[in-house]
Structure 1
Amino acid sequence: MTVLLLSAALGACTGNTDHQVTSAPRGAAPTAGTKACAATSDARASTEPVTLKVGVMPIADSAAFYIAMKKGYFTAERLTVEPVTVQGGGPAINMMKGGQLQASIVNYVTAFIAQSKSPGTLTVIAPAYQGAPGAFKLMTTPNSPIHRLADLATTDTKVAVATLHSVGTLTTKMALKAEGVSDGRVAFAEVALPDMSHNLDQGMTGVAWMTEPFITDWRDRGGRELYDVVMAGEAALLPIAGWGLTADYARNNCDIVQRLQRALLRGQHDAAADRAEVLDVMRTYTKIKPDVLQRITLGRFPTQFNVADLRHLASLVYTYEQLDKPVDVKAMLVPAPLPTITAPMSPAPATTSPAATPSSSPMLGRS
């Protein structure tokens, strides 16, 4: 499998993979194929400047990218990044396969589905976001006749999600099951996250799957919460998104991938350490008012892959999406490279505010 070779192959760029894995999955043996990356990347320590188009979304999940851009972490790696707004994981994966993007934020659910249908085509180089109570909710209008999820089974109301076959549809199906409602009785409609409020206002859908900052903004406008989809049970604290790219691009551009990964992880560490920095940078790429941003509920910014949690999520995807075969999660993950920087870095500004949303994962975490 291409990605199975890739996770070890990227380690070959540094000459060692052992230091990159803090805990291996139970019963797993080291992966083979460590020559794959070296065979396609002769200049392992290249500092050639590169321009990358990276898919982002105007939500908290993308905060680490914008922090890294603001603080010069990409520049330090001689990378010029051009953010491109995507509607969700499905469109982003298609754009990466088509060459319009080199990397993108992707929700793990969509990535796992794509990987199951076409093994060895995707890889994830860094975690981006993890769920927390209050960070993802089903919302409705103030005067909606829908007061509980069971009401969806007796109406023609559609549930708006950013994209189908995604974390939005999965967590909604899980919530419906928890409330004893068959998801076969509920229809979904694709709506871009920034358009959810307008969609509800116009009555095009009766319920919307929202994340921050749109939850707080909609609540301020009188919107009503219907269900917190990642609060408890099977859905508690689910991993939500990571930074992905195609296996072909990663295999053929080992050095560039490592440079991108280092910059993203530096931004991720900053996001995990300082809520104020996350809110400050979100002002630059969302259209939400500053006073609303101050009150949003953030998820978590893990700084390592939590293999156990990702496998749990993959098993849920396998069940709820009725996949033909399970996904080899570990094969999709690229361990962190050595912390070598290819160009001098400007010193990061000192911060004193404590982390409001620390990472729950202490690059591969517990398995």
Structure 2
Amino acid sequence: MLRTWTPLLGLSLLAGPALAQGTYKIGEINSYKAQPAFLEPYKKGMELAVEQVNASGGIAGRKLQLIVRDDNANPGDAVRAAEELLAREKVDVLMGSFLSHVGLALTDFARQKKVFFLAAEPLTDKIVWESGNRYTFRLRASTYMQVAMLVPEAAALKKKRWAIVYPNYEYGQSAVATFKKLLKQAQPDVEFVAEQAAPLGKVDAGSVVQALADAKPDAIFNVLFAADLARFVREGNTRGLFQGREVVSLLTGEPEYLDPLKNEAPTGWTVTGYPWYGITTPEHQAFLKAYQDKYKDHPRLGSVVGYTAIQSLAAGMRKAGGADTEKLITAFRGLELTSPFGPIRYRAEDHQSTMGAFVGKTRNENGKGVMVNFRYADGAKFQPSAEEVKKLRAAD
């Protein structure tokens, strides 16, 4: 069961005698109550990484201490939590956030307060481009990167008439803009015949599905996730929206969103996701075993993100010789480490990591959705050049 966090209550993953030895405090802010499907596994991934780092001697003998706050999926609450973590808890660094508009608020806060911030999960490109700053780095493959991974698959379908559905906030808007731009470049004759922007968490699936069906598209690009995705799939199945139509769908292959669909899981959608059950690399097998041994459960993508975020901070602190903000910035520019997905690097030009994603097809197997025919898309191959970034990114 998900623990309830409030801005005034936190979690310390280190207590007792170890505190006397000195710690590096990590202030973590996230939408635990609003997005439990992703963030409960994310928290478990963090806990596992903190345990491993501290068991191996910490950072030059100093342990990591994680102090968590809930942002209530609200930018104002996130900033207030960050202020409290700095002022009262005296944290050394900030990390976290899930929703893009919340992540942008914390990015700006980091700039104003000159504090190091690792944006673990929010996908908006603005975090490392238009709103990017010297204090903010981002781990997860961005909206641009994941859309760029899907566009070659979409263009290969050779479908002319596309309909689009997305959550109407920063992440959804930027995903759609990037998809339109990149698909038009790859397939100049493409037409976008319908566009449905749904309020986050409040999609009117019946009207959305009917509007898409009325446009008679050849294919659909979907950006909905979590409960909105479940409602959309259920209504689409009921009304036959997906019959005879290709669907390209961002994030749908993630267990957080695919597992709850159960026997309603679609077959044949092209998606980004995390097929934990089929990844056989040594790095992933080691992570999978450690996670299953500790939690008696399989990891979700959130587990990987939370785990790798903590491991990134640990690697950066080791390289920097501590948690001094300026030294951490220098250490993170070009920082390399091994994640459960393999080697990743934080690019100096925009502070974006090269962590990738898996691209494949969905299939309903015995009443459960899985990813098949998948491949790992290395994030380093789906990022703008340094010259392009200079045009996109404000001066630090």
Q: TM-score, normalised by structure 1?
A: 0.40
Q: Which has the higher contact order (CA 8 A, sep 6+)?
A: 1
Q: TM-score, normalised by structure 2?
A: 0.37
As a proportion of its length, which structure holds more strand?
Answer: 2
